[in-house]
Chain A
């Protein structure tokens, strides 16, 4: 695998969401609030593997969970 020259995950603008792969099939996502008194809020999602452990729920479940809330 090539060397990882990517910049670190950061929130460059307020009210933005940034998602990056962080190894294997895991994704780190940050929600910025645009307000220093709130957030930011991180989520880790993992990708379904037939036998693999998962770091977090599949990304689609995060959206459905938000729908429930």
Chain B
């Protein structure tokens, strides 16, 4: 939302409000369990068809959308064992071991984002300085009950909520931990709580690059270093095992293979 709001502002498009809805569903891929999303963006205001198309392009090419659907992330992986050894991962060989565990099933659910209009910030000359904040409701369903959470993200001067792009990678880091927790065959002497995943981001370019590339429909490749710290040593937890587990992580698969966008609508409502 904040990218679309920024593109609309700089393009003189009279966007008054915006909402985003995702339906999330589990999707079974070759040898892995992933997820797919159906997206609906609702634009409010006196939006012409030409402007709707421009904002649809901005929505498709926002930094997070690029990461999850267009393979924009350039990932460098490192593995460090608690014994101290560290190594960079190269491309995965074809004969990685088959791991017995299963990644967590992704429950169906919905994500609804609403834009907080009064959080836009302007300078004394009336020029937008920060696009503002969004409130996002998450609802998931399992066999017995429904669960709900609220997440906030955006761009504001107060620093109380995170920007969307790092938040996406927080989900990636958490997903990596969850996947490794399930798939690494750890021995009795190894504690899963010794797992740690660190992600370092190259945030150069900032808002101008993000909104400019979104407006133009241009992919910008962004670098991320993911360091996976695992229990044990290279003999007890072989690098091929770690690599095989990473290759089944749902967010990693989205970053590297895309394909999670099952349907997309951008409408004026």
Chain A contact residues, CB within 8 Å of chain B: 1-6, 9, 12-13, 15-23, 25, 27, 29, 31, 33, 35, 37-39, 41, 43, 45, 47-51, 53-54, 56-69
Q: How far is the CB of A18 from chain B (nearest CB, A)?
A: 5
A48 contacts which chain B residues (CB < 8 A)? 104-107, 140, 142
Indicate the size class of the contact surface on chain B. 35 or more
A68 adjacent to B113 (CB under 8 Å): yes
Q: In the complex, A65 Cα to B168 Cα: how many Å?
A: 8
Q: Which residues of B contact A (CB under 8 A)?
A: 1-2, 20-22, 24, 35, 37, 62, 64-65, 68, 82, 104-107, 109, 111-113, 133-134, 136, 138, 140, 142-144, 147, 149, 151-154, 159, 161-162, 164-178, 181-182, 188-201, 203, 250-251, 254
A-B CB contact pairs (8 Å), 6 listed? A4-B191, A6-B196, A16-B199, A37-B159, A58-B106, A67-B62
Contact across chains for B111 and A29 when beta carbons are under 8 A apart: no
Interchain CB contact under 8 A, A5 and B194: yes
Taking CB atoms, residues of chain A closer than 8 Å to B140 are 48, 54, 57-58, 61
Contact between chains at A21 and B195 (CB < 8 Å):
yes
**Interchain CB contact under 8 A, B164 and A67:** yes
User: Apart from A3-B191, A19-B177, A57-B147, what 4 extra A-B contacts exist at CB < 8 Å?
Assistant: A5-B194, A21-B195, A29-B170, A51-B142
Among the listed A5, A16, A39, A69, which residue makes an inter-chain contact with B191, where contact means beta carbons less than 8 Å apart?
A: A5
A16 and B200 contact, CB distance less than 8 A: yes
The answer for the CA separation of A1 and B208 in the assembled complex, in Å, is 50
Q: A27-B178, A63-B171 are in contact. Are A69 and B107 (CB under 8 A)?
A: no
